[in-house]
């Protein structure tokens, strides 16, 4: 994410979330939505579930999940493969920053 920020000059915000239940992760997602993030990326099962829920509620926002599939229109799936992960995140950040 830092590399994507440097390449695109986008503001990157990291919000750690160690919640075990996706319902407990929703307030963290709400914080990112309220701060008007253009792209929200979820990593891990709990965050992926929260992102999927948020994506259905906020169809105009862009979301992504790492290492999980999504059929929701505004959620991109990012491979967890370290060889392609950085490039995929950079591409999504670049596209999202152009939509500001």
Mean of pLDDT over the chain: 83
Pairing of strands 62-66, 75-78: parallel
Superfamily name and number for 2-8+21-98: Response regulator (3.40.50.2300)
pLDDT band of residue 65 (cuts 50, 70, 90) is: very high
Residue extents of the structural domains in the chain:
2-8+21-98
pLDDT band of residue 19 (cuts 50, 70, 90) is: low
Residue environment code for 14-45, b if the CB has 16+ CB neighbours within 10 A, otherwise e? eeebeeeebeebbebbeebbeeebbbbbbbbe
């Amino acid at each position: 994410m830092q590399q994507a920020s440097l390449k695109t000059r986008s503001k990157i915000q990291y919000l750690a979330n160690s919640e075990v239940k996706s319902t407990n992760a929703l307030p963290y997602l709400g914080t990112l939505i309220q701060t008007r993030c253009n792209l929200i990326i979820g990593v891990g099962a709990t965050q992926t579930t929260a992102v999927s829920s948020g994506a259905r509620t906020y169809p105009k926002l862009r979301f992504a999940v790492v290492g999980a599939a999504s059929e929701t229109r505004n959620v991109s799936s990012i491979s967890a493969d370290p060889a392609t992960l950085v490039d995929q995140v950079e591409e999504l950040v670049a596209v999202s920053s152009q939509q500001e």
